[in-house]
Homo-oligomer: A and B are copies of this chain.
Amino acid sequence: MIPTLEWTQEGVRLLDQRLLPARTEYLLCRDVPEVAAGIRDMVVRGAPAIGVTAAMGVALGVKQSRAADLPAMQRELDAICSTLQATRPTAVNLAWALDRMRACFQSAGREPFDRGRIAARLEQEALAVYAEDIAINQAIGRHGAVLMPEQGRVLTHCNAGALATAGYGTALGVIRAAVAQGKKLEIFADETRPYLQGARLTVWELLQDGIPARLITDSMAGHFLHHGGIRAVVVGADRIAANGDVANKIGTYSVAVLARENQVPFYVAAPVSTLDLSLASGEQIPIEERSPEEVTHFQGAPVAPAGVPAANPAFDVTPSRYVTAIITEHGVARAPFEPALKALAGKSRSAGRAVRFRDC
């Protein structure tokens, strides 16, 4: 599998997902503003991948620091984190990763000031975030594979695959693990307008792995849940509130309602870093509104009359009553979600924003 992102001595190298599947090109982000632009402009996307990229962005910014003392470096770190935090509002993994890098900085700052040593510690931490993300996804896959049918059709929405993470994927990690266990799955992939992550990314990943895939428009999901023999739905998440409400790519709520209406289980696969236990419910999750041109245009060409107003919420919130289970690296949560998610978060040494990180 082609890597989604890489740490290099020149900067953060991002697979430019805007060009897939037509072209496989990398964009080298040489400083914090370029990393921020890469996240904001969706060169890289997917909550876990955004988190890893942000961690690398912090490491890159601190590496380029010329601060003379710790307070100056702290001010630079604050500016770096503000710049990166402002890129996209919904995925909580971004804030999680920044908090983790801040905690590492605090820890490193307790020793006598040494710019190079602090930078090295942050670089090491970013690489740990990267490596852990892959291991986390593999663990999500192990916990989720058992929930997949022995054979049959499974629906997914958007891309929660290797391209949305450091590697392996969350929802697609569950599918990969199930297929590796010998389960015979055919994946129905919603194209996921307006940005077409399903058509451009999910189907591309699955074809590369030789997993049977079928592309449908978002409008067909209900029809195939009703009549198409779909046995399960599995999606990723951008933020999960304490009560189990799930923010994920726009259209997820519709799929969840249609799954329940047709007695098809609806699974959410996400790392514990996607939990935001500080929010009581999904209603408090900020929903990013993106440019209307993503709706009125298609790869740069207009498809609607000039000047028509369009709405473009990038995410929606699925109330937890539609969620069969949430699959994390520490196990599977079911209703009542609040105690179940709290217990899973407690198993993690990096379980959400409110929890202390270990010394880096």
Contact = CB atoms under 8 A, between A and B. Distances in A.
Interface stretch (A78-86, A166-174, A254-262): A254-262
Copies of this chain in the oligomer: 2
Contact of A200 (B218, B261, B303): B303
A307 B251 CA distance: 26
A226 to B, nearest CB: 6
B220 A219 contact: no
Interface size bracket, A side = 35 or more
Interface stretch (A60-68, A130-138, A177-185, A292-300): A292-300
Contact of A305 (B21, B257, B299, B313): B21
B250 A220 contact: yes
Interface of A: 21-22, 188, 190-194, 196, 199-200, 203-204, 207, 213-224, 226, 228, 250-251, 253-254, 257-258, 261, 292, 295-296, 298-299, 301-305, 307-311, 313, 316
Contact of A299 (B218, B298, B304): B298
A218 B215 contact: no
B222 A257 contact: yes
B217 A194 contact: yes
Given A191-B193, A304-B21, A304-B200, A310 B221 contact: no
Q: Which of A304, A307, A310 has the most CB of B within 10 A?
A: A304
**Chain A interface mostly:** mixed
B207 A308 contact: yes
Given A217-B250, A254-B222, A257-B261, A199 B304 contact: yes
B254 A223 contact: yes
A226 B199 contact: no
Given A222-B316, A224-B311, A253-B226, A302 B22 contact: yes
Contacts of A190: 219
Given A203-B304, A257-B257, 18 more contacts: A21-B304, A21-B305, A188-B311, A190-B219, A191-B295, A191-B303, A199-B296, A199-B304, A200-B304, A203-B305, A204-B304, A214-B311, A217-B218, A218-B218, A222-B251, A254-B254, A258-B258, A299-B301
